[in-house]
């Protein structure tokens, strides 16, 4: 598993219960190659609940992840997203729908974490190799839902 410091506290996440339920298929997590192997799956499936899609690994009653010890990088990175930008670059963005992001956008804490992601985490040789080899993980999202933080995380 790629190491990654946590941004949102577990207490906040457990009280929010906004994650792991998606308004459409775009937002479900996608798997890196080593995650496919670890989970013996090609994709994370969802099931319909009302108008939403629920991750197959979500235990609804407790709002817990059934595979927490090996949940995908995209889940651990959230509310930050690996995005394909207009220029087809590999960017980093924050999802503005997350209440934690809404409360802390542009705070020192937020900016410190973005600096950590872009200057340390994304520059780690192991992380860099995986992200460069599997650029499909960078996807296009509706621009109005994002704050683009870095146009190209592979550039210094
Ligand atoms: S894999 Fe776990 S953390 Fe990721 S969306 Fe599903 S339930 Fe949530």
Of 76, 101, 123, the domain-final residue: 76
**Exposure of 71 in the CB half-sphere (CA atoms within 13 A):** 19
Distance from C-alpha of 83 to C-alpha of 53, rounded to nearest angstrom: 21
**Ligand 1 atom nearest residue 55's Cα:** 6
- Work out how many domains the chain is built from and give that number: 2
Question: Which residues line ligand 1 at a C-beta cut-off of 6 Å?
Answer: 19-20, 29, 44, 55, 57-58, 65, 67, 71-72, 75
Tokens representing residue 111 in the block: 């900016």
For residue 136, being part of any structural domain is answered with yes
What tens digit of pLDDT does each residue of 89-113 get? 999 999 999 999 999 998 999 999 9
Last residue of a domain, one of 76, 104, 119: 76
- Which of 56, 76, 96 is where one domain is finished? 76
CA of 55 to the centre of ligand 1 (A): 6
**For the chain, what percent of residues have pLDDT higher than 90?**
88
- Collapse the DSSP code of 145 into the 3-class scheme (helix H, G, I; strand E, B; otherwise coil) and give the result: helix
The parent domain of residue 133 ranges over: 79-156
Q: How far apart are CA 18 and CA 122, in angstroms?
A: 26
Name the pLDDT band for 117 (thresholds 50, 70, 90). very high
For residues 42 and 87, membership in a common domain is answered with no
Same domain? 121 vs 90: yes
Same domain, residue pair 69 and 109: no
Predicted model pTM = 0.94
Identify the band that residue 17 occupies on the pLDDT scale cut at 50, 70 and 90: confident
In a domain, 2, yes or no: no
Q: Place 122 in a pLDDT band, splitting at 50, 70 and 90.
A: very high
In a domain, 63, yes or no: yes
In the chain the beta strands, taken as DSSP E runs, fall at 21-22, 46-49, 52-55, 58-59, 64-65, 80-84, 90-95, 146-150
pLDDT tens string 131-150: 999 999 999 999 999 999 99
């Amino acid at each position: 598993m790629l190491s990654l410091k946590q941004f949102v506290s577990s207490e906040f996440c457990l009280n929010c219960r906004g994650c792991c339920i998606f308004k459409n298929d775009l937002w479900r997590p996608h798997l890196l190659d080593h995650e496919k192997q670890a989970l013996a799956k090609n994709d994370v499936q969802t099931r319909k609940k009302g108008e939403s899609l629920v991750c197959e690994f979500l235990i609804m009653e407790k709002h817990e992840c059934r595979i927490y010890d090996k949940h995908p990088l995209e889940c651990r990175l959230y509310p930050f997203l690996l995005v394909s930008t207009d220029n087809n670059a590999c960017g980093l963005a924050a999802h503005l729908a997350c209440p934690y992001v809404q409360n802390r956008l542009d705070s020192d804490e937020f900016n410190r974490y973005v600096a950590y992601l872009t200057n340390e985490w994304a520059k780690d040789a192991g992380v860099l190799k995986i992200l460069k080899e599997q650029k499909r993980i960078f996807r296009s999202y509706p621009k109005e839902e994002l704050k683009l933080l870095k146009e190209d995380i592979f550039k210094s």
